[in-house]
Amino acid sequence: MGIVNTTPDSFSDGGAYLDPQAAIAHGCLLLEQGADIVDVGGESTRPGALRVSLDDELARVLPVIRALAAAGAVVSVDTMRAPVANAAVDAGAVIVNDVSGGLDDPAMLHAVAERGVGYIAMHWRGQSDRMQNLAVYADVVAEVRAELAARRDAALAAGIAGENLVLDPGLGFAKTAAHNWTLLAHLDALQSLGQPLLVGASRKRFLGELMTGRPPGERDDATVALTTLLARQGVWAVRTHSVRAHRDASAVVQRLGQEAVRTVQ
């Protein structure tokens, strides 16, 4: 899943694709690089970010979704708001990527169920301006698992089909670097919830910390290393700012996996 942030303030690419034409061109580039899905978002969720208005969010994402869907892309919309999800589906989006897992907008789960589109429910504990204060866990794996299980159950109860539902550990959302690493080391506990997993590690701060202060634009190699390991574990998708190297990494993992099966037979 390639990322197109039509925001002025996202942590890695904020401001680069605020102009719709630049965002559309970037989405097309990600498609050329082999993205299966292009994720279009109009609201930054970086730690400390403030909410954007509904009108601004709609104005940012809709022209980009319309153009990329018309170009043949499988488009997801990164939003917490049901009206944005609905308008995005009208514009051609087929997946709703909700970082709040349905907790921000009480109308979201029913809206998604009614439209019959895909839904990504991410683990989330509160808005970005206060999420770092919510990064308190006695057992991060058990608590994230239980809270994601509750979102899964709420989504299914609202009528979202099991085959349309993807879960996401929400790296960096109410989580410290240590929490992110612990979750990555125990993803099998989240896979046991029975839904496909999406992981969004791309260029995030915990990778910068590992490489002692490396800025976001220089964290892609570390992100690809993680993609390789995640592909081996069979995650459904990774959400990344660049695509080609991740595509290549997953092709290598897939080819080796086929070989392992063939030589055992």
- Known catalytic residues? 204, 239
- By rule CB under 6 A, what count of residues binds ligand PMM? 19
Residue 5 as a binder of ligand PMM (CB under 6 A): the answer is yes
**Region near ligand PMM per CB under 6 A, out of 66-74, 103-111, 164-172, 257-265:** 164-172
Q: Tell which positions 83-122 bind ligand PMM, by CB under 6 A.
A: 97, 99, 120, 122
In terms of CB distance, is 10 or 86 closer to ligand PMM? Answer: 10
| Six token digits for residue 191 | 């896979």
In the list 10, 180, 223, 242, the residue contacting ligand PMM (rule: CB under 6 A) is 10
Does residue 45 touch ligand PMM according to CB under 6 A?
yes
- What does residue 119 show for φ and ψ, rounded to 5 degrees? -140, 130
CA dist 143 to 36, 133, 150, 152, 157, Å?
31, 16, 11, 14, 21
Q: Does 200 bind ligand PMM (CB under 6 A)?
A: yes
Terminal CA-to-CA distance of the chain, rounded, Å? Answer: 33
Give the closest residue to 209 by CA, choosing from 172, 259, 241. Answer: 172
Chain center to CA of 5? 12
Tell me whether residue 13 or residue 252 sits nearer to ligand PMM (CB atom): 13
What are the Cα distances from residue 158, in Å, to 50, 109, 110, 154, 155? 29, 6, 5, 6, 5
3-state secondary structure of 240: strand
Which C-beta is closer to ligand PMM: that of 46 or that of 110? 46
Q: Does 240 bind ligand PMM (CB under 6 A)?
A: no
Choice between 141 and 255, CB closer to ligand PMM: 141
For the bound state, the minimum distance from the C-beta of residue 69 to ligand PMM, rounded and expressed in Å, comes to: 19
Confirm or reject binding of residue 155 to ligand PMM (CB under 6 A): no
Distance CA 109, CA 113 (A): 6
239 binds ligand PMM (CB under 6 A): yes
Quick one: 96 exposed, middle or buried, by C-beta within 10 A (0-12, 13-18, 19+)?
buried
Q: Which of 28, 103, 171, 222 binds ligand PMM (CB under 6 A)?
A: 171
Interface with ligand PMM by CB under 6 A: which residues? 3, 5, 10-12, 41, 45-46, 78, 97, 99, 120, 122, 168, 170-171, 198, 200, 239
